[in-house]
Amino acid sequence: AQSVTQLDSQVPVFEEAPVELRCNYSSSVSVYLFWYVQYPNQGLQLLLKYLSGSTLVKGINGFEAEFNKSQTSFHLRKPSVHISDTAEYFCAVNQGGSNYKLTFGKGTLLTVNP
Amino acid sequence: DAMVIQNPRYQVTQFGKPVTLSCSQTLNHNVMYWYQQKSSQAPKLLFHYYDKDFNNEADTPDNFQSRRPNTSFCFLDIRSPGLGDAAMYLCATSRDGTFSYEQYFGPGTRLTVT
Local confidence band at B99 (pLDDT 50, 70, 90 cut-offs): low
Distance CA A12, CA B27 (A): 36
Distance CA A102, CA B44 (A): 10
Inter-chain contact B40–A41, Cβ cutoff 8 Å?
no
Nearest to A94 among B96, B101, B108 (CB): B101
User: What mean pLDDT do residues A90-98 have?
Assistant: 80
pLDDT in tens, A34-79: 999 999 888 999 999 998 888 899 999 999 999 999 999 999 999 9
Beta-bridged to residue B4, according to DSSP, are: B25
| Mutation site, A36, A52, A101, interface B, largest B CB count within 10 A | A101
